[in-house]
Amino acid sequence: MSLLSSTTALLGKELRTEFRSRELLTTTVVFILMVIVLFSFTFDPTYNESRRFGPGLLWLAFLFAASLMLQPCFLREQNNDTLSALRLSVSDPFAIFLAKLIANTLFLLFTEVLMLPIFAVLYNVPVLRVLGQLLLVFFLGSLGVSIAGTALSAISAQARMRELLLPLLLLPLLTPVLVASTQVTVGLLDASPFLEWKGVGFLVVFDVIFLTALWLFGEYLLEE
Amino acid sequence: MTSRGFSPTGIRFENIEKRYGGLAALRRIRFEIAPGECVALAGRNGSGKTTLLRIAAGLVCPSSGELTFPSAAGASAGAAPVTSKTEAVRAKPSAGFVAHATMVYDELTAEENLLLFARLQQTPNATERVEKLLHEVGLFDRRSSLVRTFSRGMRQRVAIARALLHEPSILLLDEPSTGLDPQGVGWLAATLRQLRDAGCTILMSLHGESEISMLATRAIRLDAGLIVADTRTGAEVRSILTFADA
Amino acid sequence: MKKQVLAAAIVFLLVGAAAYGAFFVAPTERTMGPIQRIFYLHVSSAWTGLCAFFVCFIANILYVFRRQPQWDWLSISAAEVGLVFTTVVLVSGPIWAHPVWGIWWTWDARLTSTFILWLLYMCFLLLRTLVEEPDRRALFSALFGIFAFLDVPLVFGSIRWWRTQHPQPVVMGGSGSGLDPTMWKVLFFSWFAMLALMALLMRARYAMEAARGELEMVRHEAEAV
């Protein structure tokens, strides 16, 4: 019960601070947009080609963007030592992670949804007919990215070279997410679209495993 | 800060050691603060003052030793041995902590900050409590301004209001007067005096003599993680505090 | 000291015997010819590397709950030794693949997974160099090690299901790929020899790390006095 109320209070804080400055969202949107545009020069984005390469580059853009977006997650808490204040105040430190990973998932989803029509137009892929299924994959994939990324940003915030370290730790760990979500997206953008349930199930398994690991070990990440 | 419904609580450090790797930050720390006592910690930078305060706050877990909070009534609150950091946080003493940093969010208003921490601590009647505290620290008129726009003195007021949210019976302060103008120091001294007189146990690290150090009834001097002086005699208290400045 | 020399000699003999087995005891594979003999080194190293990472994982968990530096020393020894064995896999793979398939690198499921694994544990070592304070370094790398090892089955699963371009791995693929009984015996013997080598290397590395940890402690104590 206290976990729920602490998480909602903290989630409110995360959303309020972000929507007040909008720093993360704007930079991430611009970054993904740039990657999508630049990628289009590496091959001829006709419908057939895009169906093969589009999903992969889309997810790679999301992953890179996330590894940048997640940097300030715990770094922001160091400025005024607010992390200590949180640790003194919450009864379950998992609430701190839960609020942050929910906020990060929402931020990622928001930018992904914003980028989807632009991607569809630039790469000539029809997305409207599979919009619901695409959003499901986006959600499961972003959740996985946020769980692992929130945990690792607590580590990288306290290391040297942290700007480089987070992508280094995060990207290899997210290989399964990249492979599975790309695969499902390829199926959805096919001429005769289909939802690959095996891939969806795989993403759910990834999310559950890492959420459990974070629940078990998260509190140690906040130690001083 | 006025209506205090707590039983005064002391702090007992029993052979506290803290090592970072092989480096000892605190060694054989053994002393007891009686309920209601106001103790000043002196010592050079790096002598272990901050570590000691963070251990007392439950933020840092000692490598060995025990931290207990005996209450005036005789029973000992939160007396469980602190074996891991997490347990230290869970066996939460009733201490309020004012760190070197402000421990509040710059991007939130004063009121939002206090409401957030009140909700996390599950303070009953959070809204009224926050409103009352804002009046007491003199920030009620600026409650809707972002903390970012505040002066150092005003931030310190928010920080102290945050530490007092749950009406703690122990207050820990890490160099509370740094960066404050004389007016701010005066306000802080008056506030702490009020708390002390209400029976709040105070442990603070200080640099030099000021209006605030006048409140201390006992001074402890740390050097390289060891207690090198501990006195309750008025003149010696003053000399320990001024010596630290040199 | 004497015991260590003896252990090293035994391991040396074991590895030598495994090499002899691979070259002279195991029958020549029908289609690939003698090059297939690298299989005994390749596969046994891969298994041994995984075993080393498993040791690292166990040491990581024990460190998080017990906070004794010994577990940290064991984890770094295991990670480094595991990296050595996976490097052998990554080098012997292309050497085997080139004469057989005419290409150096195939995005074969297990080879690719091993590559990702190698990257993960490189990052594990990298993280250790970037955190200054010893306790924090030990804790953070232990936690990352736990996350990394949990990721291993997921990496293998995802790549095996979706990224394999070859219908079936040549040896030990599905149920149908029959391996000569002698080949099995030689393979298991090589694995045993590699495990012995792993234990030897890990022990030596652990002794080095322990000495380093104690030296650090003594130095700090000397500074404090």
C21-70, pLDDT tens digit by residue? 888 888 887 777 788 888 899 999 999 999 999 999 999 999 999 988 99
Instruction: Phi first, then psi: give them for residue B51, nearest 5 degrees.
Output: -60, -45
What are C23's two structure tokens?
């070259």
User: If you measure CA to CA, which chain A residue comes closest to B156?
Assistant: A80
B168 dihedral zone (left: phi>0; alpha: psi -120 to 50; beta): beta
Contact B24, B225 (CB under 8 A): yes
Chain A residues with a Cβ under 8 Å from any Cβ in chain B: 2, 5-6, 9-10, 12-13, 16-17, 20-21, 79-82, 84-91, 93, 219-220, 223-224
Residues in chain B with CB shorter than 8 Å from the CB of A2 are: 122
Q: What is the mean pLDDT of each run of 10 residues along chain B (246 residues)?
A: 60 90 84 92 89 92 88 51 42 77 93 95 91 93 94 91 91 88 89 91 86 89 90 81 60
Q: Is B19 on the interface with A (CB under 8 A)?
A: no
Region A73-92: what's the mean pLDDT?
91
Q: Is C215 on the interface with B (CB under 8 A)?
A: no
Cα distance between residue A60 and residue A68, in whole Å: 13
Instruction: Phi first, then psi: give them for residue B223, nearest 5 degrees.
Output: -140, 125
Higher-pLDDT residue of A33, C171: A33
B11 in helix, strand or coil? strand
- In the block, residue with structure tokens 């984005």: A45
Residues in chain C with CB shorter than 8 Å from the CB of B20 are: 133-135
Residue C216: band (very low, low, confident or very high) from pLDDT cuts 50, 70, 90: confident
The percentage of chain A sitting over the pLDDT mark of 90, rounded to a whole number, equals 75
User: If you measure CA to CA, which chain C residue comes closest to B226?
Assistant: C224
pLDDT score of B77? 45
Contact C224 B225 (CB under 8 A): yes
Q: Which residues contact A113 (CB under 8 A, 6 or more apart)?
A: A135, A138
What are A107's two structure tokens?
């931020």
Region A139-144: what's the mean pLDDT?
97
Contact A10 B120 (CB under 8 A): yes
Contact A64, A174 (CB under 8 A): no
Contact C217 B22 (CB under 8 A): yes
Residue C175: band (very low, low, confident or very high) from pLDDT cuts 50, 70, 90: very low
Q: What is the ipTM of this complex?
A: 0.92
Contact B92 A88 (CB under 8 A): yes
What single letter denotes the amino acid at residue C164? T
Nearest in space to B189 (alpha carbons), one of B212, B160, B210, B157: B212
pLDDT score of A41? 87
Position C19 in a domain? no
Q: What is the largest CA-CA distance in chain C?
A: 71
Nearest in space to C142 (alpha carbons), one of A213, A104, B22, A161: A213
Q: Touching A: which chains, 3+ CB pairs < 8 A?
A: B, C
pLDDT score of C78? 97
Look at chain C and report how many structural domains it folds into: 1
Residue C110: band (very low, low, confident or very high) from pLDDT cuts 50, 70, 90: confident
Lowest-pLDDT choice from A65-79, B99-113, C101-115: C101-115
Q: Do β-strands B23-33 and B218-223 pair in parallel, antiparallel, or remain unpaired?
A: unpaired
Cβ atoms < 10 Å from Cβ of A212: 12
What single letter denotes the amino acid at residue A174? L
Contact C57, C3 (CB under 8 A): no
Q: Which range among A194-198, B230-234, C145-149 has the greatest average pLDDT? A: C145-149
Lowest-pLDDT choice from B183-197, C6-20, C208-222: C208-222
Q: Which of C119, C136, C146 sits opposite A213 (nearest CB)?
A: C146
Q: Is the pLDDT of residue C83 over 60?
A: yes
Most A CBs within 10 A among B52, B106, B107, hence the mutation to make, goes to B107
User: If you measure CA to CA, which chain B residue comes closest to C134?
Assistant: B21
Contact A58, A189 (CB under 8 A): no
Contact A172, C119 (CB under 8 A): yes
Residues in chain B with CB shorter than 8 Å from the CB of C132 are: none
B64 in helix, strand or coil? strand
Domain extent for C194: 35-166+180-224
Position C43 in a domain? yes
- Domain-wise residue ranges, chain B: 8-94+171-246, 102-167
Q: Touching C: which chains, 3+ CB pairs < 8 A?
A: A, B
Higher-pLDDT residue of A49, A210: A210
Position C138 in a domain? yes
Cβ under 8 Å to B: C residues 113-142 = 133-135
Residues in chain C with CB shorter than 8 Å from the CB of A220 are: 64, 139, 143
Q: Which residues contact C165 (CB under 8 A, 6 or more apart)?
A: C106, C107, C108
pLDDT score of B233? 81
Contact A88 B162 (CB under 8 A): no
What are A113's two structure tokens?
């949804």
Contact B166, B130 (CB under 8 A): no
B8-94+171-246: CATH topology is Rossmann fold (3.40.50)
pLDDT score of B86? 43
Contact B21 C223 (CB under 8 A): no
Helices (H), A2-71: 2-21, 23-39, 47-69
Cα distance between residue C193 and residue C196, in whole Å: 5
